[in-house]
């Protein structure tokens, strides 16, 4: 079975359209982001208190909200888990300082208030209390890890391939990160530790796909010496198209199972991965190679400056534009 | 089967056996993280300033007493900050002698600076500050460890945490009474027995009226709950004027255990070590008939009368419940914390949520594996079996790795497993597509398989290195659960190189060795 039989699409012709589409998605993401005052931070980064309660019988969010009304600050009370789970999540903002022991005061208050309000019998599923020191620490580390891994991957690709390819791969990676964040914003997810982990995984995954194409480009340099870089790249994208789609498909299936059955805690993670996989595939085909060619510049629009092959053919023949 | 192929099969079986041996039985060998088995995760900060303050103040006090003994009349001493204290009004003529005594008492731990009017400022040396802070954290770690062990928690974690050097991570799997655990961990448990000089009195003013309204040098005011209504309403506050220097402290204890007082109320019985017994014997012997305040964490628990010389045993009475008496004995046995603790982070996962997560994780893994398997079989037909075998083996090896390095399985770690399924198959797809291409280009089946694996190997290496870089930084950055994810991802990628390339190729060769195949089901 084959998805594509000898595909021969001229992807590079669409490169400016693709770049424009991506720019629109990212710009829309940024606009929504600004309108909402930034990506909502999960408790890991913002600090605060989350208490999840499981009631024995169904309760309304309203009754729990009323019960905890006397706690100052902006509170969130919402259903948690499956629709029939009778689980309620209560989130409180960061309170006071860490001096003294009042960090856990909020969680204690929620429990005693809900108990006193006679909403129903409940058990505490989980409690999370994160102080500002930890929140700030994790924010710093999260940014650091993302930047460091991008730099690491750039260096590796630059060593294994060439600099303009590294730029293409990294541009695609940044593209995927921005698109993912844009979709997180559209769907109202918050930035939690798990989501950051997913974004970091996406950086690795997105580059994976790109490397497969670049590898093929490198291989085709040897056999298609007389062709233009654009033509070689386009051929390589076409040759690897089947596997690009299929690998994305299998990973997508696995993560889809996680999204559907993995439970509430991993939902944000799975959603981020799903978006990242789709965006990663798209950027591999449309963005990475386009940028690599643009970056290779006018001087190399025809020939390649450092083909890993014997040099005798270099520059002998004038450029021929790809016709597909 | 040729010899080469036989060796490959043996290698695969040995690796498989090792992996299974490493994680079997999984219930014992695979550690579940707190998010899967329930428990509490705490990050505490040691207020190391406390330790510095104690050092500065005891040195200041020692110097003041020594100066009084040598008849050098100074105006006073005062603590300026946790690391600094001042001596005011040293008489000009006794400068040299003061310096000599000061150097003797500060034992080289302080920098001395003189100012106008006979004022001297003593500042803890920076290297001493560093040592004191380190020691405080180290002592706190040991103390918490002892307490956690006494709580009887299986596989607790007590470890330094973070970059700042003053944070401690405590993980207590399976603990349900979080409140009690936290109380026990953070109670400073500083026990001091001090001679009462004045009191008790119902107010601070009444207490100090005898000494002209101010606290005399070398003494301090402490308070506690007046449970029996000694000086006013039961339950009100009661004040004592006590000597600043303690007769004995918690350090002099040998043991502590819950007991009952003469009215059959819960109390804590303690015994002293040799040095403590000697000190206590001297103080009680010299002060028969006076009162001795038993002070815990700055609060007076009780102030019994010294009836006779006591050497090795004592009893703390107060208004305890039986449980409180038990917990107090526990913390006294484990020793005082050198500094107070504050909580930076607390995450509690109830056991039922943990069980839910395990169920959800297993469900998602099975569904993920199922979906991928169906796809591979439909798309690659018989070669799909090859991919499924290599992915399944990848998971087995991954589990073996995890158990072998004692890594913890967390909920994000389960996500790593599922990703390993998805991404592991990627390599198979890459190879299969290449084989199809080679067959399409007119190569024979065996040659196509060989070319497919050879050509793709570098690509697989490159993609895996890129992913490993990301996973490595994720591990570096991650805490607890995220670290679990990075670990599974990392080892999953490593073993995938083995299964997708070596195992899968061997399977192809096995299938092709039996017959002179002209076609391949791919």
- Please check whether residue A263 touches B, CB under 8 A: yes
- B471-494 as b/e: b if 16+ CB within 10 A: bbbbbebbbbbbbbbbbbbbbbbb
CB contact under 8 A, A253 and B422: yes
Distance from CA of A89 to the nearest CA of B (A): 13
- Assess if residue B160 is contained within a domain: no
| Beta-carbon pairs below 8 A across chains A and B | 233
Which residues numbered 51-110 in B keep a CB inside 8 Å of some CB on A? none
Please count the structural domains in chain B. Answer: 3
Chosen domain end from A130, A153, A185: A130
* Predicted complex ipTM: 0.83
Q: Is the same domain home to B215 and B80?
A: no
Is B477 within 8 Å of A145 when comparing Cβ atoms? yes
- Cβ–Cβ gap A204/B45 under 8 Å: no
| Of B214-218, B243-247, B395-399, minimum mean pLDDT range | B214-218
Does position B374 have pLDDT exceeding 90, yes or no?
yes
Residues in chain A closer than 8 A to B349 (CB atoms): 125-126
**Measured between CA atoms, how close is B387 to chain A, in angstroms?**
12
Rounded Cα distance between B254 and B410, Å, is 41
Rg (C-alpha) for chain B, rounded Å, is 35
Q: How many domains does chain A have?
A: 2
What pLDDT sits at residue A312? 40
Q: Are strands B248-249 and B313-316 parallel, antiparallel or unpaired?
A: unpaired
Tell me whether B425 touches chain A (CB under 8 Å): yes
Longest dimension (CA), chain A: 87
**Alpha-carbon distances, residue B229 vs B171, B202, B224 (angstroms):** 42, 10, 12
The span from the CA of A247 to the CA of B497, in Å, is 16
**Same domain for A65 and A158?**
no
DSSP string, A211-252: HHHHHHHHHHHHH-TTS-HHHHHHHHHHHTHHHHHHHHHHHH
> Which of B411, B426, B433 is opposite residue A250, by nearest beta carbon?
B426
pLDDT at A106: 83
Q: Partners of B195 in the beta sheet?
A: B292
- Identify the H or E element spanning B116: none
CB-nearest to B345 from A129, A145, A203 is A129
Residue numbers of A between 29 and 48 with CB closer than 8 Å to B: none
Closest partner residue to A197 (CB to CB) among B178, B414, B482 is B482
What average pLDDT does the structure give for chain B? 87
Chain B CB within 8 Å of residue A1 CB:
yes
Which residue among A52, A137, A201 places its CB closest to the CB of B162? Answer: A137
pLDDT band at B506 (very low <50, low <70, confident <90, very high): very high
Report pLDDT for B158. 92
Give the chain B residue whose CA is nearest to the CA of A252: B422
Query: Do A190 and A233 belong to one domain?
Result: yes
* Segments forming the whole domain that contains residue B66: 49-127
Looking at the fold, whether B21 and B115 belong to one and the same domain comes out as: no
Non-local (6+) Cβ contacts of B515 within 8 A are: none
Does B71 lie in the same domain as B16? no
- Using a CB-CB cut-off of 8 Å, the residues of chain B touching A246 are 379, 429, 433
Find the CATH number of the domain harbouring B483: 1.20.1640.10
Low-confidence ranges of chain A (pLDDT < 50): 98-101, 298-324
Confidence at residue B229, expressed as pLDDT on a 0 to 100 scale: 67
Q: Cβ contact (<8 Å) for A201 and B371?
A: no
Q: Indicate the burial class of B173 (C-beta count within 10 angstroms; 0-12, 13-18, 19 or more).
A: buried
pLDDT for position A319 = 41
Q: Output the pLDDT for position A96.
A: 58
Q: Answer yes or no: do A21 and A119 share one domain.
A: no
Write out chain B residues lying below 8 Å of A257, CB-based: 364-365, 367-368, 370-371, 418
* pLDDT recorded at residue B516: 65
Distance CA B74, CA B488 (A): 67
Strands B248-249, B120-124: parallel, antiparallel or unpaired by DSSP?
Answer: unpaired
pLDDT of the residue at A97: 53
Contact flag B476-A211 (C-beta cutoff 8 Å): no
* Domain endpoint, select from A72, A100, A130: A130
C-alpha–C-alpha distance, residues B311 and B271, integer Å: 9
* From A204, A261, A273, residue closest to B469, measured CB to CB: A204
Instruction: State the Rg of chain A over Cα.
Output: 25
- The residue among B458, B460, B424, B453 whose CA lies nearest residue B438 is B453
Which pLDDT does position A302 carry in this prediction?
Answer: 42
Angle at B189 between CA B188 and CA B193, to 5 degrees: 130
Residue B6 has pLDDT above 50, yes or no: yes
pLDDT tens-place string over residues B449-485:
999 999 899 889 988 998 898 888 888 877 667 888 8
Q: Is B419 on the interface with A (CB under 8 A)?
A: yes
Q: What is the CATH number of the domain that holds B298?
A: 3.30.1360
What count of other Cβ atoms lies within 10 Å of the Cβ of residue A222?
12
Residue B209 pLDDT > 70:
yes
Q: Are B353 and A52 within 8 A, CB to CB?
A: yes
Q: How far is C-alpha B272 from the geometric centre of its chain's CA atoms?
A: 30
Looking at the structure, tell me whether residues A140 and A125 fall in a common domain.
no
Interchain contact B429–A (C-beta under 8 A): yes
On whether both A96 and A181 belong to a single domain, the answer is no
Question: In this structure, are A69 and A34 located in the same domain?
Answer: no
Of B127, B146, B170, the last residue of a domain is B127
Cα A263 to Cα A65: distance, rounded to the nearest angstrom = 24
Least confident of A278-287, B149-158, B229-238, B501-510: B229-238
CATH number at residue A122: 3.30.70.2040
Beta bridge partners of B409: B32
Q: Are residues B358 and B445 in the same domain?
A: yes
8 Å CB contact of A212 and B465: no
For residues B264 and B365, membership in a common domain is answered with no
Tell me the C-alpha to C-alpha distance, in Å, between residue A212 and each of A10, A132, A169, B32: 19, 43, 11, 36
Q: What is the pLDDT of residues B166-195, one digit of tens each?
A: 999 999 988 877 888 888 888 888 888 888
| In B109-157, alpha helices (H) | 126-151
Confirm or reject contact between A142 and chain B (CB < 8 A).
Answer: yes
pLDDT at A306: 42
Residue A324 lies in a domain: no
Question: Looking at residues B71-82, what average pLDDT do you find?
Answer: 87
Work out whether strand B299-302 and strand B219-226 pair parallel, antiparallel, or are unpaired: parallel
Does any domain span residue B344?
no
Tokens at B22, concatenated: 């490493």
CATH number at residue B97: 3.90.1150
Residue B136 lies in a domain: no
The CATH number of whichever domain residue A225 belongs to comes to 1.20.1640.10
| Angle, vertex CA A26, rays to CA A23 and CA A30, nearest 5 | 130
Q: Are residues A293 and A168 in the same domain?
A: yes
Going by C-alpha positions, the residue among A35, A92, A98 that lies closest to residue A69 is A92
Residues of B in contact with A124 (CB under 8 A): 348, 350
CB B281 within 8 A of CB B309: yes
In a domain, B138, yes or no: no
**pLDDT value, residue A277:** 94
Residue A291 domain boundaries = 11-39+135-313
B343 touches chain A (CB under 8 A): yes
Q: State the burial class of residue A310 (Cβ atoms within 10 Å of its Cβ: 0-12, 13-18, 19+).
A: exposed
Place of tokens 């790795």: B401
**Which is more confidently placed, B46 or A317?**
B46
Alpha carbon A95 to its chain's center: 31
Residues 453-472 of B with CB under 8 A from A: 455, 458-459, 462-463, 465-472
Q: Is A249 on the interface with B (CB under 8 A)?
A: yes
For residue B1, pLDDT beyond 70: no
Chain A residue closest to B484 (CA)?
A: A197
Stated pTM of the model: 0.80
- Is residue A90 within 8 A of residue A77, CB to CB? The reply is yes
Predicted local confidence at residue B300, as pLDDT: 86
Q: Say yes or no: B379 and B498 in one domain.
A: yes
CB–CB contact B471 A204 (8 Å): yes
pLDDT digits (tens, 9 = 90+) for A117-161: 888 899 888 999 888 888 888 888 888 888 898 899 889 888 888
How far is residue A191's CA from residue A198's CA, in Å, rounded to a whole number? Answer: 11
**Most A-contacting residue of B353, B420, B472, B484 (CB-CB within 10 A), to test interface:** B353
A172 and A251 housed in the same domain = yes
B41 at the A interface (CB within 8 A)? no
Mutant choice from A250, A261, A308 vs B, greatest count of B C-beta within 10 A: A250
**Could you tell me the CA-to-CA distances from A57 to A51, A86, A120, A121, B104 in Å, in that order?**
18, 7, 7, 8, 72
CB contact under 8 A, B470 and A131: no
pLDDT in the model for residue A297: 64
Q: Report yes or no on B99 lying in a domain.
A: yes
- Measured over all CA atoms, what is the biggest interatomic distance in chain B, rounded to whole angstroms? 111
* Residue A255 is assigned to a structural domain of this protein: yes
């Amino acid at each position: 079975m084959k998805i594509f039989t000898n595909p021969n699409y001229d992807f590079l012709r669409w490169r400016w359209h693709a770049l424009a589409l991506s720019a629109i998605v990212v710009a829309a993401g940024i606009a929504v982001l600004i309108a909402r005052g930034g990506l909502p931070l999960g408790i890991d980064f913002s600090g605060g208190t989350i208490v999840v309660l499981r009631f024995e019988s169904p309760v309304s969010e309203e009754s729990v909200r009323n019960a905890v009304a006397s706690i100052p600050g902006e509170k969130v009370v919402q259903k948690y888990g499956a629709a029939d789970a009778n689980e309620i999540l209560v989130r409180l903002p960061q309170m006071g300082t860490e001096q003294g022991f009042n960090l856990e005061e909020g969680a204690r208050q929620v429990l005693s208030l809900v108990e006193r309000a006679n909403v129903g019998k409940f058990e505490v599923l989980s409690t999370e209390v994160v102080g500002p020191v930890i929140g700030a620490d994790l924010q710093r580390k999260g940014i650091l890890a993302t930047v460091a891994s991008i730099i690491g991957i750039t260096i590796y690709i630059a060593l294994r391939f060439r600099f303009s390819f590294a730029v293409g791969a990294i541009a695609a990676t940044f593209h995927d990160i921005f698109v993912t964040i844009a979709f997180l914003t559209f769907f109202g997810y918050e930035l939690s530790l798990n989501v950051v982990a997913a974004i970091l995984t996406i950086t690795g995954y997105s580059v994976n796909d790109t490397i497969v194409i670049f590898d093929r480009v490198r291989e085709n340099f040897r056999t298609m010496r007389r062709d233009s870089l654009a033509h070689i790249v386009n051929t390589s994208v076409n040759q690897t198209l089947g596997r690009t789609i299929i690998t994305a498909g299998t990973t997508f299936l696995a993560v889809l199972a996680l999204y559907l059955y993995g439970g509430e805690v991993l939902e944000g993670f799975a959603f981020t991965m799903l978006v990242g996989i789709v965006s990663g595939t798209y950027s591999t085909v449309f963005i990475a190679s386009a940028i690599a060619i643009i970056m290779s510049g006018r001087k190399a629009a025809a020939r390649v400056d450092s083909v890993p092959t014997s040099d005798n053919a270099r520059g002998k023949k004038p450029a021929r534009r790809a016709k597909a | 089967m040729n010899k080469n192929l036989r060796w490959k099969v043996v290698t695969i079986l040995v690796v498989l056996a090792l992996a299974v041996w490493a994680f079997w039985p999984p219930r014992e060998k695979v550690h579940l993280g707190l998010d899967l088995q329930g428990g509490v995760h705490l990050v505490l900060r040691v207020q190391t300033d406390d330790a510095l303050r104690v050092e500065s103040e005891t040195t200041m006090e020692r110097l003041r007493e020594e100066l009084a003994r040598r008849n050098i009349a100074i105006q006073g001493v005062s603590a300026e900050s946790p690391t600094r204290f001042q001596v005011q009004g040293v008489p000009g003529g006794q400068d040299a002698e003061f310096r000599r005594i000061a150097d003797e008492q500060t034992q080289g731990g302080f920098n001395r600076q003189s100012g106008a009017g006979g004022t001297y400022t003593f500042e803890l040396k920076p290297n001493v500050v560093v040592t004191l802070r380190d020691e405080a954290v180290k002592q706190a770690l040991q103390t918490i460890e002892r307490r956690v062990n006494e709580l009887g928690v299986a596989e607790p974690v007590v470890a330094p945490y973070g970059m700042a050097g003053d944070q401690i991570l405590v993980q207590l799997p399976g603990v349900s009474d979080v409140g009690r655990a936290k109380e026990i961990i953070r109670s400073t448990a500083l026990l001091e027995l001090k001679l009462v000089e004045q009191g008790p009195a119902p107010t601070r003013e009444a207490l100090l009226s005898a000494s002209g309204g101010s606290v005399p040098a070398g003494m301090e005011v402490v308070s506690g709950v007046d449970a029996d209504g000694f000086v006013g309403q039961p339950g009100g506050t009661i004040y004592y004027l006590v000597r600043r220097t303690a007769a004995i402290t918690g350090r002099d204890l040998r043991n502590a255990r819950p007991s009952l007082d003469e009215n059959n109320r819960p109390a804590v019985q303690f015994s002293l070590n040799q040095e403590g017994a000697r000190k206590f014997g001297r103080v009680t012997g010299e002060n028969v008939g006076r009162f001795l305040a038993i002070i815990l964490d700055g609060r007076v628990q009780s102030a019994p009368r010294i009836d006779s010389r006591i050497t090795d045993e004592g009893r703390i009475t107060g208004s305890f419940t039986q449980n409180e008496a038990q917990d107090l004995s526990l913390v006294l046995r484990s020793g005082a914390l050198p500094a107070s603790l504050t909580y930076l982070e607390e995450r509690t996962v109830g056991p039922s949520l943990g069980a839910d997560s395990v169920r959800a994780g297993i469900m998602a893994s099975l569904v993920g594996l199922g979906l991928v398997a169906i796809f591979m079989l439909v798309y690659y037909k018989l070669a799909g079996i090859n991919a499924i075998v290599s992915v399944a083996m990848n998971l087995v090896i991954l589990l073996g790795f995890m158990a072998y390095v004692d890594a913890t399985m967390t909920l994000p770690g389960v996500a790593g497993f599922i990703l390993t399924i998805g991404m592991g198959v990627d390599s198979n797809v890459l190879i299969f597509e290449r084989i199809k291409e080679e067959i399409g280009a007119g190569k024979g089946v065996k040659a196509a398989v060989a070319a497919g694996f050879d050509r793709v190997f570098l690509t697989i290496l490159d993609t895996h290195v890129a992913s490993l870089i990301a996973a490595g930084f994720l591990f570096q950055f991650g805490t607890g659960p995220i670290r679990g994810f990075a670990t599974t991802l990392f080892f999953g990628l490593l073993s995938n190189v083995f299964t997708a390339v070596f195992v899968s190729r061997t399977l192809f060769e096995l299938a092709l060795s039996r017959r002179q195949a002209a076609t391949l089901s791919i």
